Structure 1
Amino acid sequence: MLLACPWASQAEVYSPYPGLPEPSFPSGSWGYVAQGGIAETAKARQWVAVPPTTVGYWSGQVRRDYAPEPGALYRDTIRGEAFFVSPPGAAEPYGYLPPLRVRTVGFGLLPVEAVVQVRQRRSGGRPLPVVATVVGTRFDDDPSGPNGPSGSMRLEPVRIEDAFEVRVTKVLVDGVDIGLTGACRTVRPAPVVMVGPGHVIPPGVGDPQAYFRALDPTTFFHPLYGGQLAGSLDLPAFTGCTTESGDDLSPMITLSVSGPGNRAVFNAGFPCTRIVQGTQMPPAPGEWNTLPVDETYPCTTPDPMDYPDRPAD
């Protein structure tokens, strides 16, 4: 299920690009995938499009258990560590999502637009990975014979729990930039929970790529085959939202957008690989919304997502 490269020296697995951490487990490989989605500001009852961005990941099998249950041949545990490729203008080459423009009405009267920057938490100057674990169990139910290589595979639901740093970089009230000067941010990283559906690959599937390409992407998630993650983000209170005139807008921004249950949905396409001098490489800085053409491993960019219907007032 995985393209794996051996754990050689630190220099061979550590990215030659600045800003990426060393992988935390040995056997694995670099890849990358296009991802796009939509996110909600529940208080404002608004959905915001998340522009397509490239996500680089290090993934590999970290465990195999044989005969884990009756009728099962083995169970694989695959771990993936993902990093956003930052858009132009970001402070670091990895770890930033593209800026989001959130529009609402302040105090029920004035149109307010905020530019929101979401980034991965960081340690030692590098982003902390978003970690996803995929568990797949292979069963001995291949009609071609016992212990066949294409018995059914049960993929468990994927659950991702993390927290992101959220900043507001600009606020316009009735079209006028109020001139934020402080580090306007949530008082702590915003917790997020995302879940991808489980799926059972039936017996006899010899080409998983072709199989998953024919499916509705909302019905599964697998780092190697795309799919959908859906969940919610809780926005803590904001602090440091001062203006050039000395006003502190933290309470207003908190009142406007902070709170639990801000829904988010992300679709991922098929991943890409890049091999340079025999080594699989992560996406380079600046490749935040582009994917190379690779006929041997055709990656895809997910289609733009429709906004949910707005409930009646």
Structure 2
Amino acid sequence: MPTITRRGARPHTARLASATATALLVGLLSGTGSSAADTAPVATGADLDYSCGLPDHNGVPSADLAARVEVSTHLPGSAVAGKPIEAGDVGVEVSVPRAGTADLFPSATAVESTSTLAIEAVQGQERAQATWRTTAPGTALPPTGDTLVLAHTGEVPTVTVNASGTLRLLAGALTLTLTPDVGAPVSLSCAPAPHGAREVARLSVPESAEPSAPAGTPSAEPPTKKEEEESGTGNVTVAPRSAAEPPPVQDDDCAHMPTGKLDTSVGEPPPPYRHTVTDLEGIPMCAYAVGLSTVRKQNGSMIINDLAGTPGLMHVRGVVRSEGGGWSPDPLDLDGYSQIWSLAELDLPDARSTFLSFGFVPVSAAVSFETSQITILTSQPHTIDPTTAVNYVAFRQSLRLHDVKVNGTPLDVGPSCRTEKSFRVVLNGNMFSKEYPYVNVFSGGLLTGKVDIPAFTGCGTGGENLNGLFTAAISGPGNEIRMNQAPTCLPGEFPVACPPALPELPSIKPDSSS
């Protein structure tokens, strides 16, 4: 296990990584401060020893990697019973030997990271579970002999206690999702070192500050029995901060019905006999989809519709058109033809991408997506042969780059740095996929395809033309997209698969089709 260096003796590069992370997030975090007490927030910190499992080529942890985890909070000096306690903008700084991660992404020069830390809120015999999700922007990978420092920051759920006493926050399991600029994302599962410290922070709830309600009674609505069983108590509760968590999906959210024209060019050729087309009102549905988009020139990928942020909900008008027909003049011939069309829309949140300019300079940028109406087709060209079934999802899309940084230094590209035209995206769903079979839009599953990204235009300010930089680094054919759609939620009096589930992030498999 490497020697642990105290904060004052940290290498200068670690300080730069931490400062960069703070600067990147200062405009994204609301910084609402503490609402639990009148006292000013107090900076607290904890240095914890962790052990992370390094995955082998099959993704199974096969070796241990020692890690140092520094957790910082801005809790109030004391709290008021019955009122939410906010930890402020939390930092989770993870330090690991670069040599231990060298085999995970041997060709990468920078990595983005998301941390998910389990926190146990304990007051006496009562406790509740919370999850702290924080992110670290693109971090340059140091030489093999140095330490890789990932400075995560973010907002976390509040904690409410309804009795006086000392509240302790204890750290538990930690998951790191590392996305290199070259190669596929890697997930590390980490646990506190045996017999090591776990306390992140503690604060007091004075007896005089208790509310008039009896102990164990929440200040708002009382928890349900299920909530008490999940948290371990009705006296310590955890709630998401409204600015950090997407609101729950209601029936009204899912009832929205997209309008527009279908892209029928993706359809299979109709049969010569009894071909009929029936337009229908459609069924309101919704679903979440998450995926990875790979830039071929960089051999790197970015997360699309990241579930750790505020993901966009796909609204679907299911079954707006049906087609049928036959391949024989004999109406008794069983070999038929069937196509079901649906229309959808998805407003994607910005994604963050890191790539290399000229092969060695890390460039990171926020990517905004402008997506047209989405056509979804499930086709069965020959009903007697299920292997002929195909699924297509088609739409047009434009990309806009902003908040660009070159080697950590902001680069003003202007407000209109974008692809010079929209490009067509056609994804295929395979019902025989071994990863996530896609039968139709109702069941969801894996959708894959490759796109040709056009050249960029409008990049630069003050007469500076940066179009060539982004065109050379990003534009071109063969860029793979892999999206995993969860089953659709059908709202109504008797809802099905509601609220919409969150799908798993698919893996990147170069030159794969399923």
> Which TM-score band (shorter chain)?
0.5 to 0.7
Q: Taking CA–CA contacts closer than 8 Å with sequence separation of 6 or more, which of the two structures ends up with the larger relative contact order?
A: 1
Task: Write the distance in 2 (CA, Å) between the matches of 1:234 and 1:23.
Answer: 23
User: 8 Å contact 1:191–1:235 — kept in the other structure?
Assistant: no
Q: Does 1:77 align with 2:339?
A: yes
Task: Write the distance in 2 (CA, Å) between the matches of 1:16 and 1:227.
Answer: 22
Q: Does 1:37 align with 2:291?
A: yes
Deviation at 1:131, TM superposition (A): 0.7
Q: Does 1:251 align with 2:452?
A: no
**Mapping of residues 178-189 of structure 1, within 5 Å:** 178-189=411-422
| Aligned position for 2:368 | 117
Equivalent of 1:301, from 502, 510, 514?
502
- Count of residue pairs the alignment pairs up: 233
What secondary structure sits across from 2:436 in the alignment?
Answer: helix
Read off the aligned partner of 2:474 and give its amino acid letter. V
User: 8 Å contact 1:32–1:273 — kept in the other structure?
Assistant: yes
For structure 1, the 5+ residue unaligned runs are: 1-14, 87-96, 122-128, 141-151, 200-214, 279-293
Q: Does 1:47 align with 2:301?
A: yes
Q: CA RMSD in A?
A: 3.2
- Structure with larger Rg: 2
User: 8 Å contact 1:217–1:267 — kept in the other structure?
Assistant: no
Read off the aligned partner of 1:256 and give its amino acid letter. A
| Aligned position for 2:317 | 58
Q: Deviations over 1:126-179 (max 9, x none)?
A: xxx111221247968xxxxxxxxxxx8666212344321111122101111112
Task: Write the distance in 1 (CA, Å) between the matches of 2:467 and 2:382.
Answer: 52
| Aligned position for 1:98 | 349
What secondary structure sits across from 1:251 in the alignment?
Answer: helix
Task: Write the distance in 1 (CA, Å) between the matches of 2:496 and 2:439.
Answer: 22
What secondary structure sits across from 2:469 in the alignment?
Answer: helix
What secondary structure sits across from 1:165 in the alignment?
Answer: strand
Read off the aligned partner of 1:297 and give its amino acid letter. A
- Kindly, what percent of the aligned residue pairs are identical? 20
What secondary structure sits across from 1:181 in the alignment?
Answer: coil
Q: Deviations over 1:201-232 (max 9, x none)?
A: xxxxxxxxxxxxxx845333410111111011
Check 1:20–1:63 CA distance in 2 against 1; reply closer, same or farther (3 A cut).
closer
What secondary structure sits across from 2:506 in the alignment?
Answer: coil
Check 1:226–1:303 CA distance in 2 against 1; reply closer, same or farther (3 A cut).
same
Equivalent of 2:374, from 90, 107, 130?
130
Task: Write the distance in 2 (CA, Å) between the matches of 1:231 and 1:254.
Answer: 21
| Aligned position for 2:18 | none
Check 1:254–1:309 CA distance in 2 against 1; reply closer, same or farther (3 A cut).
closer
**Mapping of residues 133-282 of structure 1, within 5 Å:** 133-136=377-380, 156-198=389-431, 216-243=434-461, 245-275=462-492
| Aligned position for 2:163 | none
For structure 2, the 5+ residue unaligned runs are: 1-253, 263-278
Check 1:99–1:71 CA distance in 2 against 1; reply closer, same or farther (3 A cut).
same
Moved more, 131-140 or 156-165: 131-140
Task: Write the distance in 2 (CA, Å) between the matches of 1:137 and 1:232.
Answer: 24
Task: Write the distance in 1 (CA, Å) between the matches of 2:292 and 2:282.
Answer: 30
User: 8 Å contact 1:235–1:258 — kept in the other structure?
Assistant: yes
Task: Write the distance in 2 (CA, Å) between the matches of 1:267 and 1:301.
Answer: 10
User: 8 Å contact 2:258–2:343 — kept in the other structure?
Assistant: no
Q: Deviations over 1:180-220 (max 9, x none)?
A: 22411111112222111256xxxxxxxxxxxxxxx845333
| Aligned position for 2:281 | 27
Task: Write the distance in 1 (CA, Å) between the matches of 2:335 and 2:506.
Answer: 38
Check 1:165–1:296 CA distance in 2 against 1; reply closer, same or farther (3 A cut).
closer
TM-score by length of 1: 0.64
User: 8 Å contact 1:79–1:134 — kept in the other structure?
Assistant: yes
Task: Write the distance in 2 (CA, Å) between the matches of 1:230 and 1:77.
Answer: 20
Deviation at 1:266, TM superposition (A): 0.7
Deviation at 1:271, TM superposition (A): 0.5
| Aligned position for 1:3 | none
Deviation at 1:305, TM superposition (A): 2.2
TM-score by length of 2: 0.41
What secondary structure sits across from 2:293 in the alignment?
Answer: strand
Check 1:225–1:71 CA distance in 2 against 1; reply closer, same or farther (3 A cut).
farther
User: 8 Å contact 1:61–1:77 — kept in the other structure?
Assistant: no
What secondary structure sits across from 1:256 in the alignment?
Answer: helix
Task: Write the distance in 2 (CA, Å) between the matches of 1:191 and 1:21.
Answer: 19
Deviation at 1:247, TM superposition (A): 1.6
